[in-house]
A and B are shown apart, each in its own frame.
Chain A
């Protein structure tokens, strides 16, 4: 068996060309689905595969598609290529090198919910990628794989790209929809959920790029095949973006359930300069900081274990590694600065809380803080929790609370007295 389901381009370099992708059977699955399968069959196979959303929340994909009502039309699919969580660069590699597999997944998702239009929302910095996708979409139209009455059926599909413009919050699915609608990228109140009232008020499925890239293989090879990778509750492989103090940072596609140790040491080459590992963040800047104990290193990376053991959700699986020289108060000052910058300002606890956490942590790191500031920082973080409209507010508190809890001495050494 090949090692890769998603990063197949590493073994098949021509995959980035339409001819190369088609030489591997590309778009045959989509053709077969439109010609010989019902939308419900596609949906059922995805449901049975146990595929879970790779954008962060791990929500079962088939279940999500199943929420789309059949008495409200039109339907939309939106691919989330906003990829802005610090430490995350997996969708980029898929889009750069294996975009046809992603596009076929998006097309299968569209067929499954009978959407005739789908949008790909890319972060503004993926400017070149949007141009590339526009060219590739035009190629697919020319090849008769997109457009009206596909393969003589009555199913039509068009894809469009839409560029964001530098706002992390637009990765949050309802802010993303607002952004496509030409409004400020601020999250919506829920309910109603996008499945009922999404883009332009119509039923909408939003999926991450990596999630969609799994779909062609699932439909081609079946749910049981897909379940042979990963764990019972977290099937499949995952692209882990590894960054920070490691010898070989980069993307690694591994079965869900692989341990942190295997990712960091076997694949990532361990910690440079003979230093010791100090801490791990599993979900980018939104992570709980996990002290790198032996138990932590042996924890399987899936949607259950890190959460259960360390209150550390896997999120987008952006694993940031810190060596023993990193001061965790400094680290927290980086993460809260990020969230202060990215808070959309819609709700007061998040807007004010990230402002204060940024100010206090900056004061600590610049040597002007007091030990009361450490408690204040922790207190502000707790004040934010549970009071925000979207998950960004919560995310902003994760590193703060776990940092103060597990690494208080790092904060105390910065306090002059």
Chain B
């Protein structure tokens, strides 16, 4: 049984409808986003499900996951804090911002806080160069921008995310 389809029947149908029936392969990226919605990365099970839905091999699906930076094969923090340190942001203090944020959270780029909440990642330009320093948050099946940041304001954003996670945790229980 295809679990992805079972869990999100309407989403899967809507995705497949976007592309010509003979090119189901096109659905792979939207299906990967769908697979990540639940727990932030693409599980082996989802790879099999997507291969079945698109008529591809699991190797094909895995290589697509590996090619794009917003698809994750490995579990990370619930929220990925993706700080842009590309040239225009760096000219406006992004490197210092990232250094301070790592210190504040007590983890380095690529690491996850012990409570499993946050992973810090360093990313390339996010088209917000005029509002640096900035970061985006990937998690809970969403991507949101946070611009004009200081370490203080960033910690506030993280605090809000922690509360959001607790609330949805309670609701689920």
Contact = CB atoms under 8 A, between A and B. Distances in A.
Contacts of A83: 127
A86 B67 CA distance: 20
Nearest to B123: A166
Contacts of B28: 182
A125 B129 contact: no
Interface stretch (B2-10, B19-27, B99-107, B159-167): B19-27
Interface in B47-100: 54, 56, 63-64, 67-71, 86-88, 90-92
A249 B92 CA distance: 10
Interface residues of B, number: 41
A89 B69 contact: no
A341 B26 CA distance: 25
Given A162-B18, A163-B30, A182-B25, A168 B91 contact: no
Interface stretch (B110-118, B136-144, B150-158): B136-144
Contacts of A54: none
A124 B143 contact: yes
B129 A182 contact: no
Interface in A202-227: none
Nearest to B129: A243
B120 interface: no
A285 interface: yes
Given A128-B143, A243-B129, A334 B87 contact: yes
B124 A164 contact: no
A213 B68 CA distance: 28
B158 to A, nearest CB: 19
A164 B91 contact: no
Contacts of A242: 130
A166 B23 contact: no
Interface of B: 18, 20, 23, 25-30, 32-33, 54, 56, 63-64, 67-71, 86-88, 90-92, 123-132, 136, 142-145
The 6 A-B residue pairs with the shortest CB-CB distance, nearest first, are A166-B69, A165-B68, A182-B25, A249-B130, A86-B125, A127-B143
26 contacts: A84-B125, A86-B87, A86-B88, A89-B127, A124-B143, A125-B127, A125-B136, A126-B127, A127-B143, A128-B143, A162-B29, A163-B33, A164-B29, A165-B33, A165-B70, A168-B124, A179-B29, A182-B23, A184-B67, A243-B91, A245-B92, A284-B125, A320-B91, A322-B91, A331-B87, A341-B124
Interface of A: 83-89, 91-92, 123-128, 160, 162-168, 179-185, 200, 241-245, 249-251, 284-285, 320, 322, 326, 331, 334-335, 338, 341-342
